Structure 1
Amino acid sequence: MTYVQLYQKYQTLPPDRQAEVADFVEFLTTRVSPPQATPKKTPVFGSARGQFVIRPDFDAHLEDFADYQ
């Protein structure tokens, strides 16, 4: 079907159907176009400073495992 034939058929439709065709064409154009890739944010070294606290005895053995050592 050529563009001219398609346009002629479109012109024969009632206005409410023409609006429906226009909506469908809009839907197809949004569906076909690839989504825009959002750039990934690279983490900044030290940006979480102060949010985590490591206790001084972090590397010490736990009392619960004293029997196994």
Structure 2
Amino acid sequence: MSKISSYEAKTNLSKLLARTAKGEHITITKHGVSVAMLVPADSSTKADVRNVVKSLRNFRKSHSLGGMTLREMIEEGRRC
């Protein structure tokens, strides 16, 4: 596990992400104190695209905008 300052992390983020994608764990410090960790994402939690699309279609069938268009909803939100 590597330790890196927050300034260096900001400056070299893309390189750090590449290292993390390869499995490395990196601790980010600020004034010598650990404040965050970059760790590889858990690829097993990646959702199946087909199931996500199916879920969205089912959601759309059971929910409506109450007769409003999307544009009307946006304008309504701006007035609040």
TM-score range, shorter chain: under 0.3
Query: Which structure shows the bigger proportion of residues in strand conformation?
Result: 2
TM-score by length of 1: 0.21
TM-score by length of 2: 0.20
Structure with the greater alpha carbon radius of gyration = 1
